[in-house]
Amino acid sequence: MKTALCPGTYDPVTVGHVDVITRCSAIFDEVVVAVVDDSFRKTVLFKVEERVRFLEESTRQLPNVRVVVMRGLVVELAREVGAHVLVKGLRAFTDFEYEFQMAQLNRKLDPDLETMYLMASPEHSFLSSSGVKEIAKFGGCVSDLVPEVVEGRFAEMYGSAED
């Protein structure tokens, strides 16, 4: 069985994330989506339990996808779930620069762990969780940027875009 691990903060999950996970699920037998609990480089808006729920609801139509919480090194979680491939989505060259560094560090820690990149679909290449959070905070419409469950949560927090 070929298992892929898709780690990220997913704060929140966007339709771009769901697109990459969906495409990944067509390539691998099992896809484990790992939600980073404690990020060193990002301050998160949503607690890890909520981010997991968003992902579970957004990927429930994909029977070979499961969502877990990641605490610790990604290479350790990959070993634990039996994944030999990390899959990351890339939107632009700036994503590649960071992801390249991480792939090299992960390779140093586990030479058998490969990193594979899926390019964002053109319609999602501009999309970022931080951008979505800013739009929602200031009352903009995010209905075509995030899954319905996330849009509903933003409406609870900030009011809906129609208000």
Listed in sequence order, the DSSP H helices in 2-161 are: 15-25, 48-58, 74-81, 93-109, 129-137, 148-158
Question: Is residue 130 in a domain?
Answer: no
Buried b (16+ CB within 10 A) or exposed e, 43-72: ebbbebebbbbbbbebbeebebbebbebee
Question: Is residue 149 in a domain?
Answer: no
Question: Is residue 129 in a domain?
Answer: no
Question: Is residue 48 in a domain?
Answer: yes
Predicted local distance difference test score (pLDDT) of residue 162: 60
CATH number of the domain that residue 74 is part of = 3.40.50.620
Question: Over 90: is that where the pLDDT of 79 sits?
Answer: yes
Question: Is residue 134 in a domain?
Answer: no
Question: Over 80: is that where the pLDDT of 131 sits?
Answer: yes
Number of structural domains (the chain) is 1
pLDDT confidence bin for 161, thresholds 50/70/90: low
Contact 77, 106 (CB under 8 A): no
Lowest mean pLDDT among 16-25, 39-48, 126-135: 39-48
Q: Which residue has the higher pLDDT, 163 or 94?
A: 94
Question: Is residue 27 in a domain?
Answer: yes
Place of tokens 């390249």: 100
Question: Is residue 10 in a domain?
Answer: yes
Question: Is residue 103 in a domain?
Answer: yes
Q: Which domain holds residue 89?
A: 3-124
Predicted local distance difference test score (pLDDT) of residue 6: 98
Query: Which two tokens mark 147?
Result: 């899954």
Q: Which residues contact 132 (CB under 8 A, 6 or more apart)?
A: 12, 14, 142, 145, 146
